[in-house]
Structure 1
């Protein structure tokens, strides 16, 4: 169950944002092999001054379309992570015209005992999930 936090600069319409969220979810399903319906996405829109995303010396040029994806997730294989990065950037580019340079991803691994989905229970540990 990845928890996907997505940060963007304000100015995109609802259809664009919905498509972006749908693409990220579909790529998650395909590359992390999560079950259908395992969708936890939180989108935050910022004023331009609130997102200072430089190129870290890689020569990458950012635009106002920059998107930062931060996923808290169970451990994933390197192959699955790389597939996620590649497919996400490609689909966002192909379907929304977002430059691949504007797609940033950070994964934060955690374990089954780090999740409670409600009721004060750790459902991965109790076997409910």
Structure 2
């Protein structure tokens, strides 16, 4: 039940944004065994004045940087997370063509009882 928030600079065409969604969904299916049709993702675009990054950690990022923040159940292993980082970066490189240096991923873990996916119920508690 991942929830993804994706941030990027404004101006990319719709096909580029849809390719990001498709690549990340495939990476979640491949690396995290996410069920079919478990797609809960948003993209937020920012103008240049509201999108800042640097070269910290020795990574030469560009204006094509994509921030990906994923909130998931706190049940994933370190190996699954590493596999997701690799697979997402690989697939985003293939489509829409984002350089590995421009893929920035952060995973936030949450206990299952902290989720309600509709109807005001705690479906996983």
Identify whether the pair has TM-score above 0.5, normalized to the shorter chain.
yes
Aligned match of 1:26:
26
Alignment of 1:71-90 (within 5 A): 71-75=70-74, 76-90=76-90
Alignment of 1:113-128 (within 5 A): 113-125=113-125
Deviations 1:9-62 (A, max 9, x none): 011100111011100011011111111011100110000121111122x22111
Q: Which runs of 4+ in 1 moved over 3 A?
A: none
Distance (Å, rounded) in 2 between the aligned partners of 1:37 and 1:117: 14
The alignment's TM-score, normalised by the length of structure 1, stands at 0.91
Aligned match of 1:40:
40
Distance (Å, rounded) in 2 between the aligned partners of 1:52 and 1:35: 34
Distance (Å, rounded) in 2 between the aligned partners of 1:91 and 1:122: 33
- SS of the aligned residue for 2:39 comes to coil
Distance (Å, rounded) in 2 between the aligned partners of 1:86 and 1:107: 14
Question: Structure 1 residue 96: deviation in Å?
Answer: 2.2
Distance (Å, rounded) in 2 between the aligned partners of 1:92 and 1:82: 15
Distance (Å, rounded) in 2 between the aligned partners of 1:19 and 1:94: 9
> How many equivalent pairs are there?
124
- SS of the aligned residue for 1:96 comes to coil
Aligned match of 2:64:
65
Unaligned runs of 5+ in 1: none
